[in-house]
Amino acid sequence: MVNIGEYIAPLVSGVVVALSSWLPTSPEGYSIMGFLEGVTPAYVDYLVPAYLGVTFAVLFYFKEKIALGSQRALRRSLDPDVKYLLYTTLFTLLIGYPLLVGLGVVIDPKVSDFINALLGFAIFLFALFMGRFRPLLGGAKEKIKEDDGATLVDSIVSGLLQGGTLMGGFSRSGFVFFGLVVTGVTPKKALELSFLIAPVYFILKLAFVGGWDPALPVPLLFAAFLSAFVTSIVTMKGLLRAVEVFGERVFLALFGLIPVFVYLVGVVL
């Protein structure tokens, strides 16, 4: 019989995995793994249901867009976001699959945290000087408006970055988001696009999880799934809302400082 107290570990694990998946950090970074291991030594068994919860949250969040895009696809009329999703998925597979299968590249979690911190600092600097970069980028691409669609360049950049982060504990959300912002996409649209393409990343992660055979009760695994699912929905909505509340520059600065803070915590502890 499962005690109520036993649900704390899977619930916390699901929340942490979801938050670190959408913020510019990674569930497989040194600091996050250290925290999860402190919560429960069996945290690895909760990664798969938590990743499934994150994946299904994206599909649920974009269910209307996916349904509408599918209908248009049947009529051979793809909207820009669906094209972006298809092209990015292709480039993610072209880069990510060889890394997972052929090369077998594994990056030390401490190194991953350090690189994520450098990425965060780059985002912070971009926020400070975005007033200088934005007119140049916007003029070149002519798509500063929030409702403009993604271009092929955006798809290539996102796919390459997303595929590359499969090597280890690199921040998928952070690299894709920053890549889109640098190409001239507004922060809010960049967040939405980075959310939209996440499923292929997590599916690849799940496909190459080796030796996962947990001896944990199904209710505990489902608790991790459910907490990751709910946390993902809340986090995606919260990040989009934060852009509106704080403004683009302040949001970028705060968003960039997150991995720097996580790295420093890992160093201190």
| pLDDT per position as a tens digit, 12-58 | 999 999 999 999 999 998 999 888 888 888 788 898 999 999 999 99
Range scoring the smallest mean pLDDT among 31-40, 149-158, 205-214, 220-229: 205-214
Residue 190 exposure: Cα atoms within 13 Å on the Cβ side: 26
Q: Where are the alpha helices (DSSP H) in 23-42?
A: 30-39
Q: Retrieve residue 54's tokens.
A: 């994150």
pLDDT bin (cut points 50, 70, 90) of residue 212 is low
pLDDT bin (cut points 50, 70, 90) of residue 73 is low
Q: In Å, what is the CA distance from 160 to each residue of 95, 185, 195, 197?
A: 6, 17, 16, 12
pLDDT bin (cut points 50, 70, 90) of residue 147 is very low
In 45-143, beta strands by DSSP E: none
- Helix count (H) and strand count (E) of the chain? 12, 0
C-alpha span between 2 and 217 (Å, rounded): 8
Nearest to 108 by CA among 268, 256, 266: 266
pLDDT of 130 > 80? The answer is no
What region does 170 belong to: left with phi over 0, alpha with psi -120 to 50, or beta? beta
C-alpha span between 209 and 262 (Å, rounded): 25
Would the pTM count as exceeding 0.95?
no
Average pLDDT value for the chain: 86
C-alpha span between 260 and 116 (Å, rounded): 7
C-alpha span between 143 and 138 (Å, rounded): 6
- pLDDT number for residue 146: 42
DSSP state at residue 197: T
Summarised one tens digit per residue, pLDDT across range 226-259 is 999 999 999 999 999 999 999 999 999 999 999 9
pLDDT bin (cut points 50, 70, 90) of residue 132 is low
Q: Retrieve residue 174's tokens.
A: 């952070």
Instruction: Tell which wins on pLDDT, 269 or 18.
Output: 18
